[in-house]
A and B are shown apart, each in its own frame.
Chain A
Amino acid sequence: MLGQITSALIAVVVAVAAAAAYFAGSNWLLDRLVGGASPARDRAVGRIRPWLFAAPALLFLAVYLVYPVYETLRLSFFGRNGETFVGLANYAWAFGDGEFLESIRNNIVWLIVVPTLSTVFGLVIAVLTDRIWWGNIAKSLIFMPMAISFVGASVIWKFVYDYRSAESTQIGLLNAIVTGLGGEPEAWITLPFWNNLFLMAILVWIQTGFAMVILAAALRGIPEDTIEAARIDGAGELRIFWRIMVPQITGTILVVWTTITIIVLKVFDIVLAMTNGQWDTEVLANLMFDWMFRGGGDFGRGSTVAVFIMIAVIPIMVWNIRRFRAERRD
């Protein structure tokens, strides 16, 4: 075990040394071989150097993200081993497949519920904690789940949802509360449709902290005098919240919303760990992973499912790029 850590540390040193050697070496070579002799050659150095700086990053991006996006698109038109062209057969299969349609349905519910609840909770908590002296401690605690892995969170919540038959003592918090109030215990995560909401609660629990931190920073950015002015005019706190605060941070709310939307589209760990798509809880990301390995792996169908996730992401991607460009023009 110690040897393994040592080799990881050696890998760190070797990788950093290699990167440093590349950057130092290539820039030194550039100055030696091209630069110095004349203004024209100095300009050439100026043209080449940016590419030396960016090359490793661009190479990684090309190999690990750009090429795979193209390749996944291509594979979605091919059969299970990626060798026979099948045209639109995978897409036709998808729209006739019960599991796929169930995933689409569930993903839509996830997309509505999780970003909405996380953003609303985040905003409410950001506003409330701003007014109390122990607000930072409260925020820190609500933010904590952000550090916990989705699998870890799944264990935490599976324990909350734990079910024992009605005769035995409930050790899951939720069923203990339900039976304490006189209700019947339920096996929450096998309850079709509603179980989806119990899985979503886990992601809301994790993402609310994110929304809260970003929105709290935005709220602090609102000029104090606009709020003071409204107060002097006799506006109530709720009115100030809706009429002064929310309009001024709409942009940030959208950013939070879309960021969580992206996370929701990729949600995989929670579903895999909690139900693995059983009891009508399948989602696209888990279905994709499933097809990637099912029966030795069906790369065509797996890719097709991935393409659907990508299609859902594209509007947000375009919006992000446009926002970025608008910012650059400012």
Chain B
Amino acid sequence: MAARRLTGGRIAVHLAVLALVVIWTLPTLGLFISSLRDKDLLAVSGWWTALSSVERRDFARTGTAADQVERDGRYVIAGNLLEGRQGWTISRFGTKVSAPGEFAAGNPAPLPGGGEITVERDGDYAWTSAEPFTQDRGRRILFVAEAPPHFTIANYVEVLTSEGIGQSFVNSLTVALPATVIPILIAAFAAYAFSWMRFPGREPLFAVVVGLLVVPLQMSLIPLLRLYNDVGTAFGTESKGYVGIWLAHTGFGLPLAIYLLRNYIGSLPREIIESARVDGANHYRIFTRVVLPLSIPALASFAIFQFLWVWNDLLVAMVFLGKSEGQIVLTSRLRELLGSRGDNWEILTASAFVSIVVPLIVFFSLQRYFVRGLLAGSVKGG
């Protein structure tokens, strides 16, 4: 192309795409950054400030009478208030909760219990008194300080352990692995039959499959819920459970699986199948020895689709699984947290990120198969 030079129009294109990319990624980035911030910071400042230092209010305790030394006839308790807080700088401090920034750092302040205290900017303090100290408990000193940016995985530790996200992660895997694998073989055989075998009703049946592609799940839920309850009562078993949801996802995933695989298997060169026929192989041998190995890319495409679909599903999980610890999947748990912990963004952001990290890894590492599947599923002749 002649227009390789940076003309005004080309710059506009770059800027427009850049703006769109920013709009599309910023929300997710905000979630990720927030999940790594201190929870008390997260509640009072926007995530975009995470990289700048922030003013924080905190407190620490002084030493006790046991720490006092006598110096020039006065008794002194000295130490550092910022122990364990790297890079902090105290600007003001106070002794009363009602006035946490009453005194500037470096100036002496009287303590109500006697004596006076001086807090330096680096956190060093000296509490001096004419009388010997007797407290066996340190006094609380409040301070206002500049804190450097700080990231922590504490939120993740919390959600994975005490909020049950860890268990739900396992539950999601328990649902997704079998629900991804079970439909593949079933669909592949059917797709081969629809592509290369002659039988009465083949075209109308496949038209039904195409129709079922778009049937809303909502049409299936109530009858299946009733059916599962009946089956549960008849056999005296729990009606909600993993076997039920594996089968349900298999049923719901099959139209797309058959459709995708038929598009692929049907487009294999006719000569391959015919030459095998001439050699005397029957359809079962042709399928298992020739077609199935050739179809691996299409099977992979479908498997990615189905895995993402099942992992991200909320509706089917809410209907066919219980809410017990051993069954609640990540999406259901996340929705419950949105209700019960709606203001605890440290929990919500970390939980949400745990739930989206697996699909993101699958997506970015296998994007090529995913896109290929999308194209085969929707573009004419794909």
Instruction: Give the B-binding residues of A (Cβ under 8 A).
Output: 1, 4-5, 7-9, 11-12, 15-16, 19-20, 23-24, 27, 31, 45-47, 49-51, 53-54, 56-58, 60-61, 63-69, 71-72, 75, 82, 121, 125, 128-129, 131-132, 135, 138, 140-152, 154-160, 162, 168-173, 176, 205, 208-210, 213-214, 217-218, 237, 251-252, 255-256, 259, 262, 265-266, 268-269, 272-273, 284-285, 288-289, 292, 299, 302-303, 305-307, 309-310, 313, 316-317, 320-321, 323-325, 327-328
B135 CB, nearest partner CB in chain A, Å:
37
User: Are the CB atoms of A159 and B197 closer together than 8 Å?
Assistant: no
B residues less than 8 Å from A176 (CB atoms): 46, 48
The listed residue (A82, A272, A317) touching B335 by CB distance below 8 A is A272
- A214-B30 CB under 8 A given contacts A299-B222, A313-B216: no
User: Are the CB atoms of B177 and A12 closer together than 8 Å?
Assistant: yes
- A50-B197 CB under 8 A given contacts A11-B178, A68-B223: yes
A residues less than 8 Å from B214 (CB atoms): 262, 313, 316-317, 320
- A158-B338 CB under 8 A given contacts A171-B46, A255-B378, A324-B207: yes
A residues less than 8 Å from B224 (CB atoms): 64, 68
Binds A, one of B8-16, B68-76, B82-90, B96-104: B8-16
Residue in B48, B194, B213, B222 whose Cβ sees the most chain A Cβ within 10 Å: B222
B159, CB-defined interface residue at 8 Å: no
User: Are the CB atoms of A142 and B21 closer together than 8 Å?
Assistant: yes
Q: Which residues B237-267 have CB closer than 8 A to chain A?
A: 242-243, 246-248, 250-252, 254-255, 258
> Could you list some 25 contacts between A and B, CB below 8 A?
A1-B167, A8-B173, A8-B177, A27-B282, A31-B282, A51-B199, A54-B189, A64-B252, A65-B215, A71-B226, A125-B20, A142-B20, A144-B360, A144-B364, A151-B312, A156-B30, A159-B345, A173-B46, A213-B375, A217-B375, A255-B379, A289-B218, A289-B315, A309-B218, A320-B213
Instruction: Give the A-binding residues of B (Cβ under 8 A).
Output: 9-10, 13-14, 16-18, 20-21, 24-28, 30-31, 34, 42-48, 166-167, 170-171, 173-175, 177-178, 181-182, 185-187, 189-190, 192-194, 197-199, 202-203, 205-226, 242-243, 246-248, 250-252, 254-255, 258, 282-284, 287, 308, 311-315, 318-319, 326, 331, 334-335, 338, 345, 348-349, 351-352, 355-356, 359-360, 362-364, 367, 371, 374-375, 378-381
Q: How far is the CA of A132 from the CA of B173 in the complex (A)?
A: 39
User: Are the CB atoms of A321 and B24 closer together than 8 Å?
Assistant: no
Q: How far is the CA of A237 from the CA of B17 in the complex (A)?
A: 17
User: Are the CB atoms of B46 and A170 closer together than 8 Å?
Assistant: yes
Q: Which residue of chain B lies nearest to A161 when distances are taken between CB atoms in the complex?
A: B27
Besides A144-B364, A306-B218, 5 new A-B residue pairs in contact (Cβ under 8 A), listed by A number: A50-B199, A72-B223, A142-B21, A149-B356, A217-B375
A residues less than 8 Å from B212 (CB atoms): 61, 65-66
User: Are the CB atoms of B24 and A19 closer together than 8 Å?
Assistant: no
Q: How far is the CA of A158 from the CA of B181 in the complex (A)?
A: 34
User: Are the CB atoms of A159 and B187 closer together than 8 Å?
Assistant: no
Closest 10 CB pairs of A and B: A64-B251, A149-B312, A57-B190, A147-B363, A71-B223, A53-B193, A50-B199, A155-B352, A68-B220, A68-B223
User: Are the CB atoms of A309 and B219 closer together than 8 Å?
Assistant: yes
Q: Which residue of chain B lies nearest to A60 when distances are taken between CB atoms in the complex?
A: B251
Q: How far is the CA of A61 from the CA of B296 in the complex (A)?
A: 23
- A325-B219 CB under 8 A given contacts A57-B189, A156-B352, A171-B44: no
Q: How far is the CA of A196 from the CA of B130 in the complex (A)?
A: 69
A residues less than 8 Å from B210 (CB atoms): 320-321, 324
- A266-B216 CB under 8 A given contacts A138-B17, A289-B315: yes
B residues less than 8 Å from A168 (CB atoms): 44
B37 CB, nearest partner CB in chain A, Å:
10
User: Are the CB atoms of A144 and B226 closer together than 8 Å?
Assistant: no
Residue in B21, B214, B367 whose Cβ sees the most chain A Cβ within 10 Å: B214
B residues less than 8 Å from A68 (CB atoms): 219-224
